Amino acid sequence: MSLDDIKSFSKENMAFDPTGHDFLHAQRVAKLAQKIYTEDFKKDETDIGLYVVKAASYLHDTIDEKVTADKKNRLREVRIILSHENIATPAREDILDIIQHMSYSDNIEHHYQLSNEGKCVQDADRLDALGAIGIARAFAYGGHAGQEIYDPKISVKEIKTHDDYRHHKSTTINHFYEKLLKLASSMNTRTGKQEASRRTKYMRDFLSEFQMETGVKDET
Ligand code: ADP
Ligand code: NI
Integer Cα distance of 35 and 29 in angstroms? 10
Q: If pLDDT is split at 50, 70 and 90, which confidence band does 54 have?
A: very high
Q: Which helix (H) or strand (E) holds 212?
A: helix 190-214
Q: Span 4-214: which CATH code? A: 1.10.3210.50
| Mean pLDDT, residues 43-72 | 91
Q: If pLDDT is split at 50, 70 and 90, which confidence band does 19 have?
A: confident
Say whether pLDDT at 138 is over 90. Answer: yes
CA of 91 to the centre of ligand 2 (A): 20
Q: Which ligand is nearest to the CA of 145?
A: 1
pLDDT above 90 as % of the chain = 80
| Mean pLDDT, residues 59-67 | 91
pLDDT at 219: 55
For residue 64, give the ligand 1 atom closest to its CA. Answer: 2
Q: Within a 10 A sphere around the Cβ of 195, how many other Cβ atoms?
A: 22
Q: If pLDDT is split at 50, 70 and 90, which confidence band does 15 have?
A: confident
Q: Within a 10 A sphere around the Cβ of 167, how many other Cβ atoms?
A: 9
When the pLDDT of each residue in the chain is averaged and rounded to a whole number, the result is: 93
DSSP 30: H
Each residue's pLDDT tens digit, 89-136: 999 999 999 999 999 999 999 999 999 999 999 999 999 999 999 999
Q: If pLDDT is split at 50, 70 and 90, which confidence band does 7 have?
A: very high
Longest distance between any two alpha carbons in the chain, whole Å: 57
Report CA 36 to chain centroid distance, whole Å. Answer: 15
pLDDT at 218: 55
Looking at ligand 1, which residue's alpha carbon is closest to its atom 13?
129
DSSP 46: T
| Residues within a 6 A CB radius of ligand 1 | 20, 64, 66, 103-105, 129, 134, 137-138, 141-142, 147, 170, 172, 175
pLDDT at 43: 78
Q: Within a 10 A sphere around the Cβ of 5, how many other Cβ atoms?
A: 12
pLDDT at 28: 98
Q: Which ligand is nearest to the CA of 23?
A: 2
Looking at ligand 1, which residue's alpha carbon is closest to its atom 17?
138
Say whether pLDDT at 140 is over 70. Answer: yes
pLDDT at 213: 95
Say whether pLDDT at 82 is over 70. Answer: yes
Looking at ligand 1, which residue's alpha carbon is closest to its atom 11?
129
Say whether pLDDT at 220 is over 70. Answer: no
pLDDT at 17: 80
